[in-house]
Amino acid sequence: MHARALALLAAGTIVGGLAIMTTAMAQPATPLIERTKLFGNPVKAQGRLSPDGKWLSWLAPDQGVLNVWVAPAANPSAARVLTRERTRPIRQHFWSPDSSMVMFINDSGGDENFLLYGVEVASGAQKNFTPFEKTRVQIVGTSETIKDRILVGLNNRDARWHDVHSLNLRTGELTRVFENNGYTGFIADDSLTLRVAIRPNAAGGQDYFRMEDGRPAATPFLSHGLDDSQTTQPLGFTADGRTLYSAGSDGVREWDVRAALRPPFLTEAPPVTSANFAGVNGPVLPLTSTAAILTPYS
Helices within 34-191 (DSSP H only): 35-39
Instruction: Indicate the CATH number of 39-181 among 3.40.50.1820, 2.120.10.30, 2.60.40.420, 2.40.70.10.
Output: 2.120.10.30
Angle at 163 between CA 171 and CA 133, to 5 degrees: 70
* Neighbouring C-alpha atoms within 13 Å toward the C-beta of 12: 6
User: What is the model's pLDDT at position 105?
Assistant: 97
Whether 211 contacts 257, CB under 8 Å: no
Model pLDDT, residue 165: 98
Contact 95/111 with Cβ under 8 angstroms? no
pLDDT of residue 222: 84
- Model pLDDT, residue 189: 92
Rounded-to-integer distance, Cα 280 and Cα 294, Å: 11
Dist CA 105 CA 128 (whole Å): 10
Give the per-residue pLDDT at 14. Answer: 53
Each residue's pLDDT expressed in tens, for the chain with a length of 298 residues: 556 655 544 555 554 554 555 555 556 688 888 887 788 888 899 999 999 999 999 999 999 999 999 999 999 999 999 999 999 999 999 999 999 999 999 998 888 899 999 999 999 999 999 999 999 999 999 999 999 999 999 999 999 999 999 999 999 999 999 999 999 999 999 999 999 999 999 999 999 999 988 999 999 988 888 988 887 777 788 888 878 877 776 555 555 444 332 333 444 444 444 433 334 444 444 445 544 444 444 4
Q: Are strands 206-212 and 222-224 parallel, antiparallel or unpaired?
A: antiparallel
Contacts 24+ apart (CB under 8 A), 99-105: 99/50, 99/51, 99/52, 99/54, 99/55, 101/169, 102/57, 102/68, 102/70, 104/68, 105/137, 105/139
pLDDT, position 241:
81
Rounded Cα distance between 212 and 193, Å, is 11
Exposure letters 175-209 (e unless 16+ CB within 10 A, then b): eebbebeebebbbbbbebebbbbbeeeeeebbbbb
Per-residue pLDDT at 280: 41
Q: Which sequence spans correspond to the domains of the chain?
A: 39-181, 187-298
User: What is the pTM assigned to this prediction?
Assistant: 0.77
Query: In the prediction, which pLDDT does 93 show?
Result: 97
Q: How far apart are the first and last CA of the chain?
A: 65
